[in-house]
């Protein structure tokens, strides 16, 4: 029987990976490089985009929130991709194409949000173990 232990090193995050991103498999040979949702570039861009609403004491409506989220994510969360096609044509990565993907495909946007919020993707120990193999 293995003894379980609470090792604080199991909870340390790779700060560099949170900003520079990690590759996440999406199936069908596609992978997307995703930064953490709490990386400073994204949080600052999102804060700036919502500031005009906050200054007026109002909240963006649902469509405006999606627009702000997609624009901010396409610049600072989705950093690159491989193996994404539009029909038979390889869709090259660009922030504008990332915006299109996020805006048009709600389930992909939801998965990217989930992966960008998942701390396990950015754990230092897990990344060391993976890179060591």
49 belongs to a structural domain: yes
8 belongs to a structural domain: no
31 belongs to a structural domain: no
115 is written with which tokens? 């992966």
93 is written with which tokens? 């990565």
73 belongs to a structural domain: yes
- Burial tier of 131 (Cβ tally within 10 Å: 0-12, 13-18, 19+): exposed
Task: State the residue range of the domain holding 86.
Answer: 39-131
- Burial tier of 122 (Cβ tally within 10 Å: 0-12, 13-18, 19+): buried
Tens-binned pLDDT, residue by residue, of the chain (133 aa) = 567 888 887 778 888 899 999 999 999 999 999 999 999 999 999 999 999 998 999 999 999 999 999 999 999 999 999 999 999 999 999 999 999 999 999 999 999 999 999 989 998 855 454 454 4
25 belongs to a structural domain: no
Number of domains in the chain: 1
84 belongs to a structural domain: yes
Phi-psi region for residue 27, left (φ > 0), alpha (ψ -120 to 50) or beta?
A: left
19 belongs to a structural domain: no
Q: For strands 30-34 and 22-27, give the pairing.
A: antiparallel
pTM: predicted TM-score of the whole model, two decimal places: 0.84
53 belongs to a structural domain: yes
Residues 8, 123 contacting (CB under 8 angstroms) = no
């Amino acid at each position: 029987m293995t003894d379980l232990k609470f090792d604080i090193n199991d909870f340390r995050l790779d700060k560099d990976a949170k900003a520079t991103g990690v590759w996440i498999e999406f199936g069908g040979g596609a992978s997307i490089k995703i930064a953490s949702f709490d990386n400073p570039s994204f949080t600052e861009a999102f804060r700036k985009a919502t500031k005009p609403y906050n200054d007026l004491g109002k909240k963006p409506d649902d469509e405006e929130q999606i627009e702000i989220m997609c624009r901010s994510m396409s610049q600072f969360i989705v950093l690159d991709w491989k193996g994404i096609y539009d029909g038979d044509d390889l869709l090259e990565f660009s922030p504008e194409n990332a915006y299109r993907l996020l805006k048009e495909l709600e389930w992909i946007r939801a998965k990217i949000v989930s992966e960008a919020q998942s701390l396990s993707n950015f754990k230092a120990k897990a990344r060391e173990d993976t890179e060591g193999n």
